Each structure stands twice: as C-alpha cells, then as structure tokens.
Amino acid sequence: MVEAGGLHYQFHGAEDAPTLILSSGLGGSGGYWAPNLAALSEHYRVLTYDQRGTGRSDRGLPETTSIEAMAQDVVALMDALEIETAHFVGHALGGMIGIEAALASGRIDRLVVVNGWRSLSPHTRRCFEARLAILRGAGTEAFLRAQPLFLFPPDWIAAHDAELEADLAHHLAAFPGAETMEKRIAAVRAYAPAAERLAKLRDVLVIATRDDFLVPHAAALDLAEPIPGADVATFGWGGHACNVTDPKGFHRLVLKFLES
C-alpha cells in the first residue's frame, strides 16, 4: 500500500506535469474522483488521497477533528511527497480543506471549490440532521442507501439505479464507521471561516449547482463574495456531485480555469 503520514494516496498522469490535488467530500475517499481521472490526468499529475479516518488511510481519529486538521494532513502529504506547490480541486468538505491548506501554507496555486459554503445553510443543517438520524436509528446500510438522494438529481438516480445498487456492497465494506462519520459531520457543521480570512485567498473558482439538494445554490455562491477576484460558475443541472453527473462539463470548466 502506498501511504505517507497515515494517508493512502495515488498519482495519475505524467510525472513531469504540474501537480493537481483532488480532495473529496464527506465520504473522504479518493475513489470518488474516478469519473474525472482520465480527463484531468491528460494535463496534470493528479494526486488523489483518502482522508484520515476513511478509505485505506489510517482509520484512527482523535476525540474531535476539524477542517483545519484535515488541511494539515494535506500540507504534510505535500511535504512527504516533495510537492512545493499544487493546484487543488475540492468537493464540498474537500473544498474547505483546500481553503485551509491554501491559507495555512501559501502553496496552493489555483483552487477550485465545488458546492461548498462559508456559512451553514439552515437547509444543509436539516439535511445533516436527517442523515445522522438515519445512521443512528436505521444503521449503516440505510444511511448509504439514502446517500444518493443528497448527491444526485432524481432523474440521474433513476437512470443509474442498477449501478448504485451494485456499488452498495463496496460502500458498505469501505464505510469508516458511525463514530468516524459523526466526527466528520461535526467538523463540517462547525466550519465557518471569517470573511477576513477568505479575503486573503487568490485565484479561486467557486462552482455552484442550481439543483444541489444538499447545498442551496445561493449558499454555494456566497463563498465567493469575500474572495477578491473570485471566478464563479453555475451548473444548471447535476446535483451536489456535478463532477460525477456531468463530467464533460466539469472538465471543460475546471481545465479552462486551471490553464488560464
């Protein structure tokens, strides 16, 4: 197993290409980016990793964790792999990790945040409460069966039902455990960066999706408001995981920004 500092990682693409780090959302696994690896690795040396507590990384977490601690893991991984600077694309929680890694290290060149936020919407809070209630009351399988409802548009779920059903066994085997998931959700819910800190960022693209069931479109766009010169892009359709449901559109948008 390839790991550094307790984090499992994988490289994709030419060794001499610029580095692009991909960081996933609540699930934490680098495997989330499978639909995007071929297109992005044509241009970059793509680094995916499993966040601490998830996937094939160290499953041990302290009593509490934070987005800042997750960002420290990224910076430590960059140190271990001798990556001086890198571009960064983060989905939701992963975007928050990218924000904190950029602020803490100054080593993130261009940052893309997909369906993130700077203050938790009451709607998103209700979604997390519902997901926790399912996990605590109905168990892991029910939690994972409900997960696509928060990630994908209804018509996409209907069209990919067999695929989602086939993936369930894999997700069950890889699930990090209820205690770890609760800690990760608590970290996301607690994250609320001050506008003054976000104003220190540069070269940021904020992506929002109109039909995102988990993060309201306005809340995702609000992240860009304090960031000087932030680029903003909207997907009309695609749900929370728009990089999965509309990979071609996602690749066009992200590559244009990274190469501009």
Render pLDDT for 25-71 as a digit per residue (tens, 0 to 9).
999 999 999 999 999 999 999 999 999 999 999 999 999 999 999 99
**Strand, helix or coil at 26?**
coil
- Nearest CA to 150 out of 119, 172, 129 is that of 129
Q: Which residues contact 227 (CB under 8 A, 6 or more apart)?
A: 198, 199, 201, 202, 204, 206
Maximal CA-CA distance, the chain = 49
What does the CA dihedral 21, 25, 30, 36 come to, rounded to 10 degrees?
A: -70
How far apart CA 194 and CA 223 sit, in angstroms, is 11
Q: How many C-beta neighbours within 10 Å does residue 184 have?
A: 24
DSSP 7: E
Report which of 130, 96, 124 is spatially closest to residue 111, judged by C-alpha positions: 96
Other beta carbons within 10 Å of 255: 16
- Per DSSP bridges, beta strands 204-209 and 19-23 are unpaired
> For residue 37, which of 4, 56, 11 has the smallest C-alpha distance?
11
What's the chain's average pLDDT?
Answer: 97
Both structure tokens of 145: 């069966």
Compute the Cα dihedral for 69, 175, 119, 33 and give only its sign.
Answer: positive
Question: Hey, which CATH number is domain 3-259, 3.90.105.10, 2.40.160.50, 3.40.50.300, 3.40.50.1820?
Answer: 3.40.50.1820
- Spell out where 192-230 has E strands: 204-209
Q: What local confidence, expressed as pLDDT, does residue 1 receive? A: 65
pLDDT of residue 237: 98
Per-residue pLDDT reduced to its tens digit, 190-223 = 999 999 999 999 999 999 999 999 999 999 999 9
| Boundaries of every domain in the chain | 3-259
Place 112 in a pLDDT band, splitting at 50, 70 and 90.
Answer: very high
Q: Count Cβ atoms below 10 Å from residue 23 Cβ, excluding itself.
A: 29
pLDDT by residue (tens digit) across 125-167? 999 999 999 999 999 999 999 999 999 999 999 999 999 999 9
What is the chain's Cα-based Rg?
Answer: 17
pTM (two decimals): 0.98
Give residue 177's pLDDT.
Answer: 97
* Residues across the chain: 260
Q: How far apart are CA 223 and CA 71, in angstroms?
A: 18
